[in-house]
C-alpha cells in the first residue's frame, strides 16, 4: 500500500486500519539481500515517507556480518558520504509478528544530485528495466522460493517438532499434505501477512527435505515488484516462524546430505501490445526466446556470483541434487540450468533454475534479465538443447563450483560489465573477497576433530 506523505488524513487512516503502530523500520536492501536501516518513531513517518532519511552509501556493500569493507573507496576515500533514501512506492507495510507492532518502509538510495545510486541492488534492477522499456518490452517475472523449518534451539539445523503430533520430523515427505497440515497454523499466518503486505503468495508444497517447503509467488509485469515480493516474503516467513516457536532458513544447503533451497525464476516478455514475444505458436518458442536463452548461457559463469553469493551456496550446486551443475538448456528438463516449460504456447516462458534461496532477488533478476537482453540485442543462437540427464553430459561447460572462481569470473566478465554498474561490481567483489578471507580463517569442529590427534 502506498501512502501520500503530504496527506496526513491518508496516513492517519492507514494507522487506524493497521495500528496500533509504535515505530517505523526505514530500510534499504544491501548487496547480500539483508535489510539494513533505522528504527524511527511513528511520529516521524512524514520524514521517512518524504525522503528525509539519509544513510551512508557504503551500507549496501558491507559484508554478511555487517562489517565495513577494509579499504573500501565508499568508506574512506569519499569520507563515507550519505545518500538520500527515497521511498520505493511500496508505502508502509504492517509488521505484526513482533512483540510491538511496527511498520516497514522500503527505501532505495540516490546520490546528492538526485540520480540513482546504481550500486543499490534495487536501482541496478531498475536500470535494466529502463533498457527494456527503450526496446518496447516488458518482462513478466515470477519466483519460487524454498525454505526449511527447523528447531530454533540447537546451533545446527535440526528438523522441527510437529505442532500436531508432538514428534520430530524424521523423513522426507515430498508433496505431503499431512506435513502441510502439521504446520497449518504457521502457513495460515504466512498467507495472512502476505496479504497484508500485498505479497501474492500462491501454492505451498512440501518439498524433498525434512521440514522443507516451497511457496510460489504469482507473476508480475513489474520485475521490481516481483523482487520486492521475494524480499518481503523471506522476511515474513522468518518472522512468522519465530512467532510459532520455529526458525525458518533460506540457506542454500542447511543439511549437507539433503536437498538445497532454490529460488527458481520464471519470465516472459511482452511487447507494447501485450503479446508474449516468446510465443510463435510452436512448442519450441520464438527466435527471441532462443536469443534470450543464448544470452543467459553465455553470461551464466560470469553471473553465477549473483545466484550463489555465499560460502554455503556452493554446497547446493552438486550433481543429482535437483540443482544444476552444467551451463545448459532444455525443454521440460529439470536437470538443466535453463528449462523451457511445456504447455500452452501463449504462456511460453523461460525458467532459470540456478539461484539459491539465499541469493538477493534484485541481483538475481537483474542478472537474468540483463543477460537475456544482451542475447536478444546480439541475436545470439543457443547450442542444441540437452535431452535427458544434463549431469551426465561431460562436454557441457560447468557452472563455477567454487566461490572464488565465481568472484573471478564476475570480475573479468564482459557480459557482467554490461549488466552492472562499475561501482556495484567493485563493491560486491570487495565484499565477497573479504567474506572468503573470513571463512578461510575459521577452523571448524569437524576439521578439528579430524586432525587433532591423527596427524
Q: Which residues contact 402 (CB under 8 A, 6 or more apart)?
A: 314
Is residue 124 included in any domain, yes or no? Answer: no
Within 318-443, strands assigned E span 329-331, 338-340, 350-352
140 and 25 both lie in a single domain: no
Is residue 52 included in any domain, yes or no? Answer: yes
Give the pLDDT confidence score for residue 78 in this predicted structure.
65
Q: Which residues contact 120 (CB under 8 A, 6 or more apart)?
A: 28, 29, 60, 108, 109
Q: How far apart are alpha carbons 36 and 42 in whole angstroms?
A: 18
H or E element in which residue 162 lies: none
The per-residue DSSP string of 48-111 comes to HHTT-EEEEGGGGG--TTSPPPTT-IIIIITTS-EEEEEE-S---EEE-SSSS-EEEEEEEEE-
105 and 171 both lie in a single domain: no
Is residue 270 included in any domain, yes or no? Answer: yes
Tell me the helix, strand and coil percentages in the chain, rounded to 5.
40, 20, 40
Give the pLDDT confidence score for residue 111 in this predicted structure.
93
Instruction: Kindly report the backbone phi and psi dihedral angles of residue 100, in degrees, each rounded to the nearest multiple of 5, phi listed first.
Output: -120, 120
Q: Give yes or no for a cis peptide into 373 (omega within 30° of 0).
A: no
CATH number at residue 49: 3.10.20.70
CA 333 to chain CA centroid, Å, is: 23
**Residue 124, C-alpha cell as written in the block:** 541496478
- Report mean pLDDT in 10-residue bins for the chain, 455 residues: 51 70 91 95 83 91 93 69 90 85 92 94 98 97 96 85 80 68 89 94 84 94 97 96 95 92 97 96 95 98 98 92 92 94 93 98 98 98 90 85 97 98 96 96 90 87
Give the pLDDT confidence score for residue 77 in this predicted structure.
58
Instruction: Kindly report the backbone phi and psi dihedral angles of residue 346, in degrees, each rounded to the nearest multiple of 5, phi listed first.
Output: -65, -20
316 and 447 both lie in a single domain: no
Q: For cell 566461490, name the residue.
A: 403
CATH number at residue 233: 3.30.590.10
Is residue 330 included in any domain, yes or no? Answer: yes
162 and 267 both lie in a single domain: yes
Nearest by Cα to 407 from 272, 262, 309, 266: 309
Domain of residue 114: give its range.
Answer: 1-119+421-455
163 and 293 both lie in a single domain: yes
Tell me if 81 sits within 8 A of 64, measured CB to CB.
no
Alpha helices (H) in 198-309, listed in sequence order? 223-243, 287-298, 300-307
167 and 316 both lie in a single domain: yes
Give the pLDDT confidence score for residue 9 in this predicted structure.
64
Q: How far apart are alpha carbons 268 and 453 in whole angstroms?
A: 57
Give the pLDDT confidence score for residue 164 in this predicted structure.
79
Give the pLDDT confidence score for residue 374 in this predicted structure.
98
Give the pLDDT confidence score for residue 6 in this predicted structure.
47
Q: DSSP assignment, residue 201? A: E
Give the pLDDT confidence score for residue 156 in this predicted structure.
81
**Residue 326, C-alpha cell as written in the block:** 552444467
- Domain count for the chain, please give it: 2
79 and 183 both lie in a single domain: no
230 and 107 both lie in a single domain: no
Is residue 414 included in any domain, yes or no? Answer: no
The per-residue DSSP string of 27-61 comes to EEE-TTS-EEEEEEEGGGHHHHHTT-EEEEGGGGG
Q: Which residues contact 12 (CB under 8 A, 6 or more apart)?
A: none
Q: How far apart are alpha carbons 186 and 248 in whole angstroms?
A: 11
Is residue 408 included in any domain, yes or no? Answer: no
Nearest by Cα to 285 from 340, 235, 231, 232: 340
76 and 145 both lie in a single domain: no
Q: How far apart are alpha carbons 69 and 63 in whole angstroms?
A: 7
Neighbours of 281 (CB within 10 A): 10
Q: How far apart are alpha carbons 52 and 86 in whole angstroms?
A: 8
Is residue 76 included in any domain, yes or no? Answer: yes
pTM above 0.75, yes or no: yes
Alpha helices (H) in 44-182, listed in sequence order? 45-49, 121-134, 177-182
Tell me if 143 sits within 8 A of 230, measured CB to CB.
yes
Is residue 416 included in any domain, yes or no? Answer: no
3-state secondary structure of 426: helix
1 and 150 both lie in a single domain: no
Q: For cell 559484508, name the residue.
A: 63
150 and 255 both lie in a single domain: yes
310 and 178 both lie in a single domain: yes
Amino acid at each position: 500500500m502506498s501512502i501520500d506523505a503530504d496527506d496526513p488524513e491518508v496516513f492517519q487512516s492507514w494507522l487506524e486500519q493497521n495500528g496500533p503502530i509504535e515505530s517505523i523500520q526505514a530500510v534499504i536492501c544491501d548487496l547480500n539481500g539483508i535489510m539494513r536501516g533505522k528504527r524511527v518513531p511513528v511520529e516521524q513517518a512524514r520524514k521517512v515517507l518524504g525522503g528525509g532519511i539519509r544513510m551512508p552509501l557504503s551500507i549496501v556493500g558491507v559484508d554478511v556480518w555487517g562489517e565495513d569493507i577494509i579499504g573500501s573507496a565508499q568508506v574512506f576515500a569519499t569520507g563515507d558520504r550519505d545518500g538520500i533514501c527515497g521511498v520505493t512506492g511500496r508505502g508502509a507495510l504492517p509488521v505484526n509478528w513482533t512483540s510491538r507492532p511496527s511498520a516497514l518502509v522500503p527505501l532505495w538510495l540516490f546520490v546528492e544530485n538526485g540520480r540513482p545510486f546504481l550500486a543499490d541492488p534495487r536501482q541496478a534492477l531498475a536500470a535494466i528495466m529502463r533498457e527494456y522499456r527503450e526496446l518496447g518490452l516488458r518482462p513478466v517475472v515470477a519466483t519460487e522460493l524454498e525454505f526449511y523449518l527447523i528447531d530454533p534451539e540447537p546451533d545446527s539445523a535440526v528438523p522441527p517438532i510437529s505442532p500436531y503430533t508432538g514428534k520430530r520430523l524424521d523423513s522426507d515427505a515430498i508433496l505431503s499434505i499431512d506435513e502441510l497440515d502439521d504446520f497449518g497454523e504457521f502457513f495460515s499466518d504466512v498467507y495472512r501477512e502476505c496479504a497484508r503486505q500485498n505479497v501474492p503468495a500462491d501454492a505451498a508444497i512440501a518439498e524433498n527435505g525434512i521440514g522443507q517447503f516451497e511457496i510460489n509467488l504469482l507473476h508480475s509485469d513489474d520485475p521490481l515488484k516481483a523482487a520486492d515480493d521475494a524480499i518481503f516474503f523471506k522476511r515474513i516467513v522468518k518472522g512468522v516462524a519465530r512467532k510459532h516457536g520455529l526458525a525458518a532458513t533460506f540457506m542454500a544447503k542447511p543439511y549437507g546430505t539433503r536437498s538445497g533451497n532454490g529460488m527458481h525464476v520464471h519470465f516472459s516478455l511482452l511487447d507494447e501490445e501485450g503479446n508474449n514475444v516468446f510465443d510463435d505458436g510452436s512448442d519450441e518458442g520464438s527466435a527471441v526466446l532462443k536469443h534470450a536463452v543464448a544470452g543467459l548461457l553465455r553470461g551464466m559463469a560470469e553471473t553465477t556470483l549473483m545466484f550463489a553469493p555465499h560460502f554455503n551456496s556452493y554446497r547446493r550446486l552438486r550433481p543429482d541434487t535437483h540443482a544444476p551443475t552444467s551451463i545448459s538448456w532444455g525443454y521440460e528438463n529439470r536437470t538443466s540450468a535453463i528449462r523451457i516449460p511445456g504447455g500452452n504456447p501463449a504462456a511460453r516462458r523461460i525458467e532459470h533454475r540456478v539461484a539459491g534461496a539465499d541469493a538477493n532477488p534484485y541481483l538475481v533478476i537483474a542478472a537474468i534479465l540483463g543477460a537475456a537482453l544482451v542475447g536478444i540485442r546480439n541475436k545470439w543462437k543457443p547450442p542444441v538443447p540437452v535431452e535427458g540427464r544434463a549431469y551426465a553430459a561431460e562436454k557441457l561447460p560447468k557452472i563455477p563450483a567454487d566461490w572464488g572462481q565465481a568472484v573471478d569470473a564476475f570480475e573479468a566478465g564482459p557480459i557482467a560489465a554490461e549488466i552492472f554498474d562499475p561501482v556495484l561490481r567493485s563493491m560486491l567483489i570487495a565484499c565477497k573477497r573479504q567474506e572468503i578471507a573470513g571463512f578461510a580463517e575459521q577452523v571448524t569442529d569437524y576439521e578439528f576433530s579430524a586432525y587433532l590427534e591423527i596427524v
